[in-house]
Amino acid sequence: MISTNQFKNGTHIEVDGTVFKIVEFQHVKPGKGGAFVRTKLKRASDGAVIDRTFRAGEKFRPVRTETRKMQFLYADGSDAHFMDLSSYDQITVPEDQVREPLKWVLPSQEVEVLYVDEQPADVQVPSAVELAVAETDPGVKGDTASGGGDKPARLESGVTVRVPLFVNQGDRVRVDTRSGEYVSRA
């Protein structure tokens, strides 16, 4: 069993028969009454985020998780298709469940698929990715790094991010996948 004082961001627990991932948590010790833990939990089945408060010391069943290297094949609108690189088995995951991380992944790219209790549940992408700029307004003479300002750019994966004025179509840029912000030119 896992207690509330062993919580870590990213840990999976089972609450009332449902598997959740701990997104964030905060131990609270009020002046009066018992301590408690305020948490933000993400449901593994559909990605819904809920707020939940537990008494300090409450115990939960830890959920076994593992990651497997897979190749992202394609998304067809309802499911995302992956291939296990060691056994060549193909699996599908509901696209709603992995839509957020998949916007940083190109078809045939290698990803880590998170399995929760032997079921594929999520896709883990690196904290930063390099993608080519597919479309952006051209830079104008006088646009410099120190000039400030930014413009929207659509990347090859389809995501639109804000980039500095000096970035042109075809440039490769590094983007933080957690915030969706431009980091640097690659």
Do 101 and 51 share a structural domain?
Answer: no
Do 134 and 120 share a structural domain?
Answer: no
Domain of residue 53 covers 2-62
- At residue 179's C-alpha, the angle toward residues 150 and 49, to 5°, is 140
Do 24 and 43 share a structural domain?
Answer: yes
Percent of the chain surpassing pLDDT 90: 0
- For the entire predicted model, the pTM comes to 0.66
122-137 confidence digits (pLDDT tens): 788 877 888 888 888 8
Distance between CA atoms of residues 103 and 158, nearest Å: 7
Distance between CA atoms of residues 164 and 183, nearest Å: 10
171 token code pair:
């440039």
Do 52 and 21 share a structural domain?
Answer: yes
Residue 119, amino acid? Q
Distance between CA atoms of residues 149 and 171, nearest Å: 18
Do 152 and 109 share a structural domain?
Answer: no
Do 145 and 180 share a structural domain?
Answer: yes
Name beta bridge partners: 163.
Answer: 151
Higher pLDDT, 50 or 10: 50
pLDDT in the model for residue 139:
66
Do 149 and 108 share a structural domain?
Answer: no
Total number of domains in the chain: 3
Distance between CA atoms of residues 59 and 53, nearest Å: 13
What residues contact residue 164 under an 8 Å CB cut-off, 6+ apart?
145, 149, 150, 151, 182
What residues contact residue 129 under an 8 Å CB cut-off, 6+ apart?
104, 174, 175, 177
Name beta bridge partners: 72.
Answer: 82
What H or E segment, with its residue span, contains residue 177? none
58-78 confidence digits (pLDDT tens): 888 878 888 888 898 888 888
Do 150 and 117 share a structural domain?
Answer: no
